[in-house]
Amino acid sequence: MHRIGVIGGGTMGAGIAEVAARAGGEVLVLERDTDTAYLARARIARSLTRAVEAGKLDRDLADQAAGRITLTTVIDDFADRDLVIEAAPEIENLKTEFFTKLDAIVAPEAILATNTSSIPVIRIASTTANPGRVVGVHFFNPVPVLPLVEIVATLETDRVVVDKVTAYARDVLGKRTIESKDRAGFIVNALLIPYLLAAIRMAESRFASIEDIDEGMVAGCAHPMGPLRLTDTIGLDVTLTIAESLHTEFHEPHYAPPPLLRRMVDAGYLGRKTGRGFYSY
């Protein structure tokens, strides 16, 4: 798989495009208009520059990777892609709309993947004529840094599709892969979200300060980042969306979003991306 398509040039999409281009792929990124395409290009350029400044990437190789990424606002341009990875916002109707269109555009042998972090993949796959070629390929933020990719097979996904995307993520992108059943939250978020929600409930009840909750997990449990700062990094809106999906799927109380999380999202306190969450940035 050499011709890679990415739907969406936001934080996740830009990261996926970057790692695919750094691995030698010819990458096409879809954005809704020229303004957001410009922002996506700038986002990728900043990330490549950070990698160069950190000594993790040669400047010439960074320039070559940037040159392998093309931005477009026309979904029909994806007709020649071998693999298309959707990284649109976590809105089910939006994702299914993209997959319905892509299914009619790309070649029958092309693979369609979703980077959803919470929506059961079969709901997306069922909107296509060939759900066997649809698979979950869940990257983690920041994509160029974190090594893990969850591969999610639905009840319909062909085994050859799972094997191909696993080999691509592992052997071409250099990622570590784990395989999950198609359940809301998959492996990582099904374990992570209850932990984050428990920390939010602790802060909400004023059992301990935000700083002490985080310090307890960093200094006491060797976590690289405390749960509340991690929630800020993920995004409070994303955390809420995943929690709601998990609670809808399993109806277990530890997946229920705390009122504080809902109110902060209502107020626009979404974490690092808005400059304010549990901490100010």
Residues 239-250: what's their mean pLDDT?
A: 94
Are 267 and 128 contained in the same domain?
Answer: no
Tell me, yes or no, whether 76 lies in a domain: yes
Residue 95 belongs to a domain? yes
| Residues 148, 113 within the same domain | yes
- 197 pLDDT tier (thresholds 50, 70, 90): very high
Does a structural domain hold residue 9?
yes
Statement: residue 237 has pLDDT above 90: yes
pLDDT tens for each residue of 55-76: 999 999 999 999 999 999 999 9
Taking the C-alpha atoms of residue 225 and residue 66, their distance in angstroms, rounded to an integer, is 31
Token pair for 198 = 């428990």
Q: How is residue 271 annotated by DSSP?
A: B
Check whether 118 has a pLDDT greater than 90. Answer: no
pLDDT in tens, 154-179: 999 999 999 999 999 999 999 999 99
Cα–Cα distance, 278 to 281 (Å, whole number):
10
Confidence of residue 188 (pLDDT cuts 50, 70, 90): very high
Same domain, 194 and 175: no
Positive or negative, the CA dihedral 90, 141, 30, 83 is negative
Largest CA distance in the chain: 56
Whether residue 193 sits in one domain with residue 175: no
CATH code for position 159: 3.40.50.720
- Is 7 a domain residue? yes
CA separation for the pair 167, 192 (Å, rounded): 26
Same domain flag for 114 and 153: yes
- Statement to judge: residues 7 and 104 lie in one domain: yes
Which CATH number do you get for residue 193? 1.10.1040.10
Q: Domain end: 181, 207, 225, which one? A: 181
Q: Domain ends where: 111, 146, 181? A: 181
Q: Which two tokens stand for residue 32?
A: 């809704």
| 171 and 205 fall within a common domain | no
Q: Are residues 70 and 164 in the same domain?
A: yes
Whether the pLDDT of residue 131 is over 90: the answer is: yes
More confident residue, 83 or 90: 83
Mark whether 173 and 199 lie in a shared domain. Answer: no
Does 281 fall in a domain?
no
Residues 261 and 201: their CA atoms lie apart, in Å, by: 9
279 is a domain residue: no
Q: H or E segment at 195?
A: helix 188-204
Work out the average pLDDT over 83-99.
95
Domain that holds residue 17: 3-181
Our count of domains for the chain comes to 2
- Within this chain, do residues 236 and 147 fall inside the same structural domain, yes or no? no
The contacts of residue 175 (CB under 8 Å, 6+ apart) are 19, 139, 147, 148, 149, 169
**pTM beyond 0.95, yes or no:** no
Percentage above 90 pLDDT, the chain: 96
Q: Determine the Cα–Cα distance for residues 12 and 176; give it in Å rounded to an integer.
A: 17
Residue 59 lies in a domain: yes
User: Which residues are known catalytic residues?
Assistant: 117, 138, 150, 189
| Pair 168, 107 in one domain | yes
141: which DSSP letter? S
Q: Which residue type, as a one-letter code, is found at position 46?
A: R
Amino acid 257: pLDDT: 97
Q: Please, which pLDDT band fits residue 151 given cuts at 50, 70 and 90?
A: very high
> Last residue of a domain, which of 157, 181, 205?
181
* Domain shared by 159 and 236, yes or no: no
Q: Is residue 280 part of a domain?
A: no
Average pLDDT over residues 208-228: 98
